[in-house]
Chain A
Amino acid sequence: MYQYRRFNNKNGFFQKFGNLDYILLSCLLILGFISLATMYSTDGGEVLFHTRSHFIKFVVFFAMMLVISFINIKFWFSLGYLSYAVILGMLIWTINFGITASGSKRWIDLYFLNIQPSELMKIFIILCLAKYFHRMKSQHVNSFYSICFSLIIIFVPMSLVIIQPDLGTSLLIAISGIVVLWFAGLNHKYFFYSCLLSIISLPIIISFLKPYQKLRVLTFLNPDRDPLGAGYQIIQSKIAVGSGGFTGKGFLKGTQSYLEFLPEKHTDFIFTLFSEEFGFIGSVLLLLIYAIIIYRVIRIGALSRSYFAKLFCYSFGTSIFIYVVINMSMVLGLLPIVGSPLPIMSYGGSSMLATMIGFGIVMSAKTHSQQSIA
């Protein structure tokens, strides 16, 4: 038995090829196709910059994901701390030499593309923490030292992103980290108490927010207080989604986006446009695709032999779920507006890159599901 497995672990290229999760792959391809179609619609029914760029990014990063999936999961395990440190360095670099756009420094110029390190951090913090907890004995997980160390791992990139400023992404990084802590087995009561604490301290946090962020919170509570100003985005977004109806207005026929009533329609509000054109049915189908993807990711985790792979897959799947939920809730007026892209659907290279790396590692866990990590 053991012999067989050892033999199996050295499996060849074709065997790995056969081990790929084709349901996950086809779901990702469908999602990619949907996102391209939607992007085509945001460009007003023409193949313009956004569609072309999104297409190239999707193809390149999808290919990259396949390459990653053939690399042994052990390699990614060993890369855990290093990659985290590299991204951290990039974040520091951003603060000093970043490209400023619409009031915040988020990008660094890599000559061939501008990259947003904060997006990459959403994945690599999971990788780093998964590696950290992989080695840990269960009785040490709740020790003061390990909690402190893991919180530092979360707080350093988070604060670096906050000062960009980019509240949305820093929250998502924190959530990704916290998800890993949850799966690693941190005591329930810590989560409970910190939840309580954050609710109590919410008013104090709000007083520290920047004026435009405060406005967003106030606007969320009552979008009609300034319908043409701060409340404009959310009101127009709700109108677009609501007017879509059961079957939608039809592909390329979304008046709200076509006539430029929708803000940020390429990025954070892409779901609005999709929902306006494809209606309730389309939206539920899209949700279903996301659900299948997340289910597959978690299933891969469940079938993996190593604790690291399990932890990574569970955390990554849950993080993707949370990104989707936060983005949709925001668009549907259930949460205040925070900058959070919809994975794969939204336009944005760094987000796509990070997501595809994540799926690549998951796929690698699948192809090397019998690999145990010492």
Chain B
Amino acid sequence: MINISDSATKLNSLNRRMFIIATAKIIILGGIVSRLFFLQVKENKKYLTLSDKNRIREWKLPPIRGEFKDYFGNTIAGNFEAYQLHIIPEEVEDFRYVIYRVKELLELTDKQFKRILKKKDEIKPWETLIVSDNLSWEKFSKINNHLYDLNGVKPVISISRDYPYKENFTHVLGYVSQANENDLLTNENIKEKFVPGLKVGKTGLEKSFEQKLIGSNSVERYEVNAYGRRISQLAFQTGDKGETIRLTIDTKIQELTNELLKEKAGSICVMDIYTGAIIAMHSSPSFDPNSFVFGISQDEWQLIRNNPMKPLVNKSLSGNYSPGSTIKPIVALSALENEIINPDFTVQCKGHKNPLELYGQTYHCWKKEGHGFVNLREAMKQSCDTYFYEVARRLGVDRLSVTAKKFGLGQKVFKDVFDNEKSGLVPNTEWKKNALGRNWVLGETIITGIGQGFIQTTPIQLCLMTAQIANGGYKIYPKIVANDDNQYADKFMPLYKKSRNIKIVQDAMFSSTNEVRGTSFRSRLDDPKYRFAGKTGTSQVKKITERDRELDLKTFEIPYEERDHALYVAFGPYKSPRYALSIIIEHGGSGGTVAAPLAKELFKMIVDRHEIRKNYDNKKYLEI
């Protein structure tokens, strides 16, 4: 039926085409094999890492923060066990029931409760929901007693920051709080170690030593599936606790400073004049840093922020004050060093009726009746302004500023340890020309001689200045970390030309505290063991007008903001000086009546504690 030849052509064509297709097939197969080879052999490494990245996930646990110790090894910032309540939503059968039961037991407010529910919606069901991060023991045990009823609720003991001395160390240590976006952006280390709920230092040493304190995360390595659910734990890597940092501060003295500055705004700094160790440094008013650890409540924050005495400012380091008469030792020293005057140089102080007059400006001494004829020692003792006007006029501001800077004024004392430290200001003619574009006038030199005008100092600078006068005029570098063994080439370099000049100034300061008519005579300690030398200062915050002079109001009669700052710098014991201090009471009135009496209290304790400190050091060396 079928044409044979036709059938043959059909078969021919079929076989020919089969041959074409077979060739194509071989080529395509080769292509697939080469693709397989490319993926599985050539690029194998790349895909193997991608596959591991897929399946292995690491969970970082919060690192344990290093502690702060005081000089004697007492913990001043430690870690405590915080009682927390965790719930893993997916492990709870009836989440609604459990969460309402928890609400009942913990007596949560509706607002807190809503926040927890919101948090629950944000996380994956197998992630931990932190219901409460710091429970009281009562509530924690209450939860534990009701656990039979609370399936899936986990009472957890976790580690958190604790400041046992509350407000005492706030400005030195700062505080920790939840890391925010800004912390992550500015600090690589925090970013690397970040886990939700990580607490980082916000101010003070907690911030400065973040790198050392933070420690390293413990890492849990899990194999996870495509939905992020943990399948099995592959490894656990224990992290290191952060470094413990020992400070030079003596807690007992620090507590006393806090006591002395209660209800006042101000600062006290105490320094070892040889080692530069900070024994105490306090700024008042302070606040309890513990309230920041778990997030401060809005009300409490407003209370701190709006306090007119500014608790948030660390006055010891960032308070810029006119030094007032406390600058006089430097003025005197500078004049002696530059041989402008000798100790016998005498000026007549005539009191308010006959003020020093220059180019139409009058310059009054603080004492209405005047001091009469005074030499250097007398002038320091009674803090005669007229004398120092004259000295400053002869000395000139440029020479004064050289000496002042040499003794540590006008520059940061701790360099970059504290990020909120201010450098103060020691003016000179060049500075004014550059900064204000105007020429220096003589009147400004004159008021600089009594620590008014442009000159600004921080309490810690005044303390350092006093310390360097007290130790005989040698350069020291203050330190707050006990094992800070930074070597400075110019440590203990003499800052004077003639050491006799230092002696003269020291003696003048001694007279100011320990001799009749001295400005801080009433605050003296007679026991030679405790006897100290000092210089009062009263810095005006507002120009005194003629009217004010006529009224001659008592401190408490003036509005708070217009009252003078009371200052006092001192060193002791005079026999063999060891410690220097500076005291500033904002708007306290006169230095002699407000600030100096605090020094009396302080020196008693400082000298007593010195023995203990020495013994502690010796014992420690023995143990080694």
A binding-site residues for B, Cβ under 8 Å: 137-139, 182-185, 236, 238-246, 255-256, 259-261, 275, 279-280, 283-284, 287, 291, 294, 298, 301-302, 307, 310-311, 314, 318, 321, 325, 328-329, 332, 334, 374
Report whether A259 and B28 are in contact in the complex, using a CB–CB cutoff of 8 Å: no
**Known contacts A183-B17, A246-B44, A279-B40; A259/B33 CB under 8 A:** no
Residues on A with C-beta less than 8 A from B15 are 302
The digit string for B1-39, where 1 denotes a CB below 8 A from any CB of A, is 101001101110111011001100100110011011101
Tell me how far the C-beta of B332 lies from the nearest C-beta in chain A, rounded to whole angstroms: 76
What are 15 A-B contacts with C-beta separation under 8 Å?
A: A182-B21, A236-B54, A239-B47, A241-B39, A241-B47, A242-B46, A244-B44, A246-B41, A259-B54, A259-B223, A260-B226, A280-B41, A302-B18, A307-B14, A325-B32
Known A138-B13, A185-B13, A260-B226; contact A284-B47, beta-carbon cutoff 8 A: no
CA distance A318 to B28 in the complex (A): 12
A259 to B227, CA, bound (A): 9
Cβ A242 vs Cβ B47 within 8 A: yes
Query: Among the interface residues A139, A241, A294, which one has the most CB atoms of the partner chain B within 10 A?
Result: A241
A246's partner among B9, B21, B40, B51 (CB-CB below 8 A) is B40
- Among B193-252, those with CB < 8 Å from A are 223-227, 231
Measured CA separation A259–B1 after assembly (Å): 64
- Give A231 Cβ to nearest chain B Cβ, in Å: 13
Are A255 and B51 within 8 A (Cβ)? yes
CB contact under 8 A between A259 and B226, given known A275-B40, A291-B29? yes
Q: Judging by beta carbons under 8 Å apart, are B51 and A256 in contact? A: yes
Q: Which residues of A sit under 8 angstroms from B17, Cβ to Cβ?
A: 182-183, 185
Contacts of B22 in A (CB 8 A): 298
Contacts of A137 on B, CB cut-off 8 Å? Answer: 3, 6
Q: Are A256 and B39 in contact (CB under 8 A)?
A: no
Is there contact, CB below 8 Å, between A245 and B48? yes
Kindly state the separation between the CA atoms of A325 and B55 in the bound complex, as whole angstroms.
30
Q: Tell me whether B47 and A243 are in contact (CB under 8 A).
A: yes
User: Does chain A have a CB within 8 A of B553?
Assistant: no
A273 vs chain B, min Cβ distance (A): 13
Contact check, B37 vs A328: say whether CB atoms are below 8 A apart.
no
User: Are A283 and B51 neighbours in the complex by a CB distance under 8 Å?
Assistant: no
A42 to chain B, nearest CB (A): 14
Q: Does the CB pair B32–A260 fall under 8 Å?
A: no
Residues of B within 8 A of A182 (CB): 17, 21
A246 to B44, CA, bound (A): 8
Given known A182-B17, A284-B33, contact A242–B1 (CB-CB < 8 A)? no
Q: A185-B10, A245-B41, A261-B55 are in contact. Are A298 and B18 (CB under 8 A)?
A: yes
Distance between B396 CB and nearest chain A CB, rounded to angstroms: 73
Chain B nearest CB: distance from A114 CB in Å?
Answer: 28
Taken together as a complex, chains A and B put the C-alpha atoms of A311 and B13 apart, in Å, by: 11
Chain A residues within an 8 Å CB radius of B41: 245-246, 280
| Residues in A whose Cβ lies below 8 Å from that of B46 | 242
User: Measuring CB to CB, which residues of chain B are less than 8 angstroms from any residue of chain A?
Assistant: 1, 3, 6-7, 9-11, 13-15, 17-18, 21-22, 25, 28-29, 32-33, 35-37, 39-41, 43-44, 46-48, 50-51, 54-55, 223-227, 231
**Known contacts A138-B10, A261-B55: A183-B32 contact under CB 8 Å:** no
The complex places the Cα of A167 from the Cα of B290 at a distance, in Å, of 66
Q: Are B10 and A307 in contact (CB under 8 A)?
A: yes
Q: Complex Cα distance A321/B21, Å?
A: 11
Query: A-side binding surface: helix, strand, loop or mixed?
Result: helix
Q: A183-B14, A298-B18 are in contact. Are A245 and B40 (CB under 8 A)?
A: yes
A-B contact count (CB 8 A): 122
Complex CA–CA separation, A294 to B29 (angstroms): 12
Chain B binding surface SS class? helix
| B47→A287 contact, CB < 8 A | no
Residue from the list A138, A238, A334 in contact with B47, Cβ < 8 A: A238
A279: B residues at CB distance < 8 A? 40
Q: How near does chain A come to B34, taking the closest CB pair, in angstroms? A: 10
- From A324, which residue of chain B is reached at the shortest CB distance? B32
Min Cβ gap A139→B in Å is: 8
- In the complex the two chains form, is A260's CB within 8 Å of B227's CB? yes
Please name the residue on chain B nearest to A295 by beta carbon: B22
* CA of A236 to CA of B37, assembled, Å: 18
- Inside 8 A of B1's CB, which chain A residues have their CB? 374
A279 and B44 CA atoms in complex are apart in Å by 10
Query: Are the CB atoms of A332 and B39 closer together than 8 Å?
Result: yes
Q: Is the CB of A314 within 8 A of B36?
A: no
Q: A241-B40, A245-B41 are in contact. Are A307 and B226 (CB under 8 A)?
A: no
Determine the chain A residues whose CB is within 8 A of the CB of B39 once the complex forms.
238, 241-242, 332
The 6 A-B pairs at the shortest CB distance, nearest first, are namely: A242-B47, A243-B51, A259-B225, A280-B40, A185-B13, A260-B226
Which of B6, B15, B51 has most chain A Cβ within 10 Å?
B51
Q: Which residues of A contact B231 (CB under 8 A)?
A: 259
* In the bound complex, CA of A374 to CA of B2 (Å): 8
- Cα distance A196–B9 when bound, in Å? 28
From known contacts A185-B10, A239-B47, A307-B11, infer whether A334 and B54 are also in contact, taking CB-CB under 8 Å.
no
A137 vs B3: C-alpha distance in the bound complex, in angstroms?
9
**Given A137-B3, A243-B51, are A310 and B11 also a contact pair (CB < 8 Å)?**
yes
Q: Which of B11, B37, B50 contacts A280 (CB 8 A)?
A: B37
Partner of A243, one of B29, B37, B44: B44
Contacts of B35 on A, CB cut-off 8 Å? 329, 332, 334
CA distance A287 to B25 in the complex (A): 12
Residues of B within 8 A of A283 (CB): 36, 40
Cβ distance A371 to chain B, nearest Cβ, rounded Å? 15
Chain A residue contacts of B43, Cβ below 8 A: 242
Q: Do A332 and B36 touch across chains, with their CB atoms under 8 A apart?
A: yes
Given contacts A246-B44, A255-B55, contact A241 B36 (CB under 8 A): yes
Give the distance in Å from the alpha carbon of A259 to the alpha carbon of B51 in the complex.
Answer: 11
Residue of B3, B17, B40, B225 with most partner-chain A CB within 10 A: B40
Most buried by B among A138, A261, A301: A138
In Å, the complex CA distance between A287 and B3 comes to 41
B residues near A294, Cβ cutoff 8 Å: 25
Could you tell me if A325 and B40 are in contact, using CB atoms closer than 8 angstroms? no
Query: Are the C-beta atoms of B47 and A307 separated by less than 8 Å?
Result: no
- Give A256 to B56 CA distance when docked, in angstroms: 11
Known: A185-B17, A243-B48, A260-B226. 12 other contacts (CB 8 A): A138-B10, A139-B6, A183-B18, A238-B39, A240-B51, A242-B46, A259-B224, A287-B32, A294-B25, A298-B22, A321-B25, A329-B35
A240 contacts across to B, CB distance below 8 A: 51
Minimum CB–CB distance for B232 against chain A, Å: 10
Q: How far is A242 from B55 in the complex, measured between Cα atoms in Å?
A: 15
Contact yes or no, B33 A287, CB < 8 A: yes
Give every chain A residue within 8 A of B21 (Cβ-Cβ).
182-183, 314, 318
Instruction: Report how far A194 CA is from B422 CA in the complex, Å.
Output: 83
Partner of B54, one of A184, A245, A256, A298: A256
A185 to B18, alpha carbons, bound, how many Å? 11
Give the CA-CA distance A183 to B35 in the complex, in Å.
29
Residues of A within 8 A of B40 (CB): 241-242, 244-246, 275, 279-280, 283
Q: Which residue of A lies closest to B35 (CB)?
A: A332
Known: A241-B40, A241-B47, A259-B231. A287 touches B54 (CB 8 A): no
